Amino acid sequence: MQIILASQSPRRRELLERMGLAPFSVIPARGEEIADPALSPPELVEELSRRKAAEVASSHPDSLVIAADTVVSIDGLVLGKPRSEEDAVRMLSRLSGREHTVYTGLTLRLGSRADTGHEAALVRFRPLSPADIDHYVATGEPMDKAGAYGIQGYGAMLVEGIQGDYYNVMGLPVCRLARMLADFGLDPLAMAAAKER
């Protein structure tokens, strides 16, 4: 079965490879991510992942499409990717010394069959000085990441603790994905075991 990752995220690609799902194709969804303010963060990430999967599946109906969308939520606000360095500074200042929730919506689609769910993780930042924030933004890392940080990079130095799936914070809840794949007849653990035999 051909697998397509509907994302250009190098982190999601790396995690699929770690799960032993290679080879797979990468065909990012091109549709604009328009957030409906009436949706809760879990509903939002599920809806956005559904749209991405549907877009890519429409031209690849015989492939298993994996789509995901991640946001950070704090104080009732949804933080996506920063639009500028100033926006990244604002986001990081809001997260400083506080807890926030990272939501990732995940959709698998094969033909007309689709399964959607989400994962949530609670992340606690250490207090950040203005210099900490400026230095981190100067690395460039925050600019393509929800909430303006990447836990797998320099952003790890900002995080004091996590409750939930670490990989969810990276943008792909691996445990949930493995269970969903099994429902589509692909068991990554069984595949890994077969490779070792």
The 3-class secondary structure across 115-179, one letter per residue, is EEEEEEEEEEECCCCHHHHHHHHHCCHHHHCHHHCCCCCHHHHHEEEEECCHHHHHCCCHHHHHH
CA distances from 144 to 48, 75, 87, 161, 185 (A): 17, 22, 12, 22, 33
d(CA 113, CA 72): 28
Q: How many CB atoms lie within 10 A of CB 81?
A: 18
Whether residue 45 contacts residue 103, with contact meaning beta carbons closer than 8 Å, is answered with yes
Known catalytic residue: 62? no
Q: Active-site residue among 36, 62, 69, 134?
A: 69
Q: Which residues are catalytically annotated?
A: 69
